[in-house]
Amino acid sequence: MNIKEYNKYLFIFAVILFSLTFGMSLVSADTSFIFKQNTAIDLKVPVLNNDNSLVDFSTSCNLTTRYPNDNIVVQGASMTFNVNYFNYTFNNTALNALGEYSNSITCTDGIDFGFSSFTFLITPTGTDPSISQGIIYFAILIVSIVLFVVVLWGSIALPFSNEKDSYGGILAINYKKYTKIILFFVSYLLLLWISWTAWNISQGFFFIDAGTNFFKTIFYTLLTILLPLFIGFVIFIIVVAIQDLKLEKLAKRGLSPR
HEC secondary structure over the chain = CCHHHHHHHHHHHHHHHHHHHHHCCCCCCCCCEEEECCCCEEEEECCECCCCCECCCCCEEEEEEECCCCCEEEEEEECEECCCCEEEEECCCCCCCCEEEEEEEEEECCCCEEEEEEEEEEECCCCCCCHHHHHHHHHHHHHHHHHHHHHHHHHHHCCCCCEECCCCCEEECCCHHHHHHHHHHHHHHHHHHHHHHHHHHHHHHHCCHHHHHHHHHHHHHHHHHHHHHHHHHHHHHHHHHHHHHHHHHHHHCCCCCC
Residue 92 pLDDT:
84
- CA torsion angle 29 32 36 41 (round to 10): -160
CA atoms within 13 A on the CB side of 21: 20
User: Does 60 share its domain with 95?
Assistant: yes
Q: How far apart are CA 235 and CA 187, in angstroms?
A: 19
User: Does 180 share its domain with 154?
Assistant: yes
User: Does 76 share its domain with 176?
Assistant: no
- Tell how strand 163-164 and strand 170-172 pair up: antiparallel
Contact criterion met (CB below 8 Å) for 206 and 199: no
Residue range 67-125, pLDDT digits in tens? 988 999 999 999 999 888 899 999 988 888 888 899 999 988 888 788 888 898 888 77
Q: How far apart are CA 126 and CA 86, in angstroms?
A: 22
Structural domain contains residue 46 = yes
Residue range 159-215, pLDDT digits in tens? 877 666 566 556 667 777 888 888 999 999 999 999 998 888 877 676 666 667 888
Residue 255 pLDDT:
54
Q: How far apart are CA 251 and CA 170, in angstroms?
A: 9
**CA of residue 36 relative to chain centroid, distance:** 17
User: Does 99 share its domain with 137?
Assistant: no
Number of residues that make up the chain: 258
Q: How far apart are CA 213 and CA 225, in angstroms?
A: 18
Q: How far apart are CA 56 and CA 111, in angstroms?
A: 13
Structural domain contains residue 258 = no
User: Does 68 share its domain with 16?
Assistant: no
Residue 250 pLDDT:
67
Give me the number of domains the chain comprises. 2
Q: How far apart are CA 30 and CA 10, in angstroms?
A: 38
Structural domain contains residue 177 = yes
User: Does 241 share its domain with 135?
Assistant: yes
Contact criterion met (CB below 8 Å) for 145 and 194: yes
When pLDDT is averaged across residues 233-258 and rounded to a whole number, the result is: 74
Structural domain contains residue 61 = yes
Domain that holds residue 170: 3-24+129-252
User: Does 7 share its domain with 74?
Assistant: no
User: Does 57 share its domain with 155?
Assistant: no
CATH number, residue 39: 2.60.40.1930
* Residue after which a domain boundary falls, among 123, 138, 171: 123
137 against 67, higher pLDDT: 67
User: Does 43 share its domain with 19?
Assistant: no
Q: How far apart are CA 75 and CA 88, in angstroms?
A: 12
User: Does 198 share its domain with 216?
Assistant: yes
Structural domain contains residue 210 = yes
User: Does 147 share its domain with 199?
Assistant: yes
Contact criterion met (CB below 8 Å) for 121 and 184: no
